[in-house]
Amino acid sequence: MAFGALSSLGAGSGVLTYDVIDKLKKADTATMVTPFETRKTNVENQQKQLSALTTQINLFKSSIADFKDGEIFQKRLANVSGNSVSADVTSGVSVQKISMDVTQLAQNDIYQSKGFDSKDSKINNTGDDQTLKFSYAGQEHDITLKDGATLSDLRDSINDANIGVTASIIDTGSDTDPYKLIIKGSKTGKDNIIKLDYGNIDDLGFNVYQSKHYSADTDKVNNSGDTQTFKISVNGTDYSMDVANDKQVKDFIDDINNGNLKDSDGNSLTGISAEYDNGYIKLHLQDIGDISITDDNLTTAMNDDKNDNRVQQAQNSIFKYNGTEVTRDSNKIDDLVVGLTMNLNSTGTSTIDISQDTDTIKQTMQDFVSGYNSIVSKIQDLTKYDEDTKTAGVFQNESAIRNIPRDLQNALFSTFLSDTITKTDRNGQEYDQKISLSTSDFGFSMNRTGFLDFDSSKFDDMLKNKPEKVEEFFSGDNGAMTKILNTIDSLTKGPNATLNLLNTQYTNEEKSFQDTIDDAKKRIDTKYQIMAEQFASYDSMINSYNVQSQTIKQSIEAMINAK
């Protein structure tokens, strides 16, 4: 203890010292402060343990929340046999089996050009800027290629159009003309085709159609005995020409190159050329898009499937759903059953078995038992009294805490449900008998130590044979889990909940104890400040008396010595 100017306390008397004041002050503190500090510490410990218990109970509540509205019983699994389909399912989908027979996958459009010797090979050698008509999936865009534009310039222009088509140039590694332009549509479906009219620039080789093999260019393309029609459809416009009986390959090629393929208005098909190459008729079209060739009754056997530079053709998926043929523009099918998404992976048959997710229900029940018993164990520890150590849990005298296991038990075991079973009398006649189902029928029981036991085999049997009774018993407004959740809400939800009121009580007590402690310390400090000042005054007086006494004593001794 230090009192500033009173630092010489005890110098006069040798008795009224700071040590005496400290001892007196400690005695007062032990009486007036320490008991309240102990009680405050106990309350703080109660608050800490109450917070931990409340958190544990709320986590337990979260783990079983899906029972209240029956959500746990609506969870589904989609088990797929076969590799052609994969499936994802959400809660609530009807339990069912679905057969899928995939005959065609949806694809996007992909083209490759002929080979070029460089990425910078010039493709516009016309002497003028050229505009190419470019469209995809309903969007149109004009591409302007300046005179002298290169393959790389066309790639960049396609990408800059930003209409869902990507272009790239790859090095095939070929010894000659290794660079090819690849254009790829982003969407699947037969309507999502790439359309590009590049007839005003060099041939890029996107569309090359090949006939059957001929031994010579003098072979006949028409030996039917009658005049036949050769037709090419380009992006919705039909171009056709008559092919006379006995017409030879070379003459057929000349007719095409001379513009004999015409539409209904007499306009010739531009951007097309024909040649005889190593026994094949080859047609080069400078258009990309919806192109088909009709050569019925001719020997050419030429159609769009012969275009090797159309790497992949845009097409729909085709499959049978429970025997009914369905067509979609995607391989992701999510509009046949609400909540079910089927992904088509390959052609072939598969079966999708949508069933109740019983494993999740069983595991949740096991978690419920573990969580319930964990809470009971925690409360037993907090409210016990140890005879050996003579120590009590922090809530040993708190009935609100001690009653929680009882309240949870009452909520769980207060549910009953009627059911009807079929029995046989002594005459072999069947009859219906009404029974009452209780919690024990679903595998639950309480043991002598206050913990919950669970016979999973009983529960599994009920879940397998009477799933609707399991759902009815545990869910809904009067279900066992609903009652437990309501009991927990009465403990933790809202300012008037039992544990929240208890926490408020502890908070108020802690504040009251702190106020008492602060007030007691203040009074003690004041008391001993005054005492120290009084001691200093008394000590000064004693010191003065001592000086006077010493002076008198010396005078007497001097007088005696003088005689």
Tell me how far apart the alpha carbons of residues 324 and 381 are, in angstroms, rounded to a whole number: 64
Q: What is the pTM of this model?
A: 0.73
CA distance 166 to 531: 94
Cα dihedral across residues 284, 287, 292, 298: positive or negative: negative
C-alpha 289/C-alpha 190 separation (Å) is 11
Scanning 64-122, the segments in alpha helix (DSSP H) are: 71-74
Instruction: Decide if 107-205 and 209-307 have a common fold.
Output: yes
Give CA 189 to chain center in angstroms. 29
| Class of CATH domain 209-307 | mainly beta
Residues in contact with 45: Cβ distance below 8 Å, sequence separation at least 6, in sequence order: 394
Q: What is the pLDDT of residue 305?
A: 56
Instruction: Give 282's Cβ-side CA count (13 Å radius).
Output: 14
The conformation of residue 398, written as its DSSP 8-state character, comes to: -
CA–CA dist 298, 228 (Å, integer): 7
* β-bridge mates for residue 123, sequence order: none
CATH annotation of 107-205: 2.60.40
Burial class (CB in 10 A: 0-12, 13-18, 19+), 44: middle
**How far out from the chain centre does Cα 36 lie?**
52
Structure tokens at 305: 């499937």
Which residue has tokens 């494993």?
A: 359
The tens place of each residue's pLDDT in the chain, 563 residues long, gives 444 434 444 444 454 566 777 788 788 788 888 888 888 888 899 999 999 999 999 999 999 988 888 889 999 999 999 999 999 999 999 999 999 999 999 999 999 999 999 999 999 999 999 999 899 988 999 999 999 999 999 999 999 999 999 999 999 999 999 999 999 999 999 999 999 988 888 889 998 999 999 999 999 999 999 999 999 999 889 999 999 999 999 999 999 999 999 999 999 998 899 999 999 999 999 888 888 899 999 999 987 556 888 999 999 999 999 999 999 999 999 999 999 999 999 999 999 999 999 999 999 999 999 999 999 999 999 999 888 887 888 888 899 999 999 999 999 999 998 877 777 878 888 777 788 899 999 999 999 999 999 999 999 999 999 999 999 999 988 899 999 999 999 999 999 999 999 999 999 988 998 898 889 888 888 887 777 777 666 666 666 666 666 677 666 667 667 75
Q: Are strands 228-234 and 165-171 parallel, antiparallel or unpaired?
A: unpaired
Distance (Å, whole) CA 497 – CA 7 = 57
Q: How far is the C-alpha of 490 from the C-alpha of 484, rounded, in Å? A: 10
Going from the C-alpha of 149 to that of each of 124, 129, 162, 286, 420, the distances in angstroms are 5, 9, 20, 17, 85
How many angstroms separate the CA atoms of 249 and 460, rounded? 78
Q: Where are the domains of the chain?
A: 4-34+501-562, 64-71+359-493, 76-103+320-356, 107-205, 209-307
| Whether the Cβ atoms of residue 342 and residue 333 lie closer than 8 Å to each other | yes
Eight-class DSSP state of 298: S
d(CA 468, CA 120): 71
Specify whether the CB–CB gap between 281 and 252 falls below 8 A.
yes
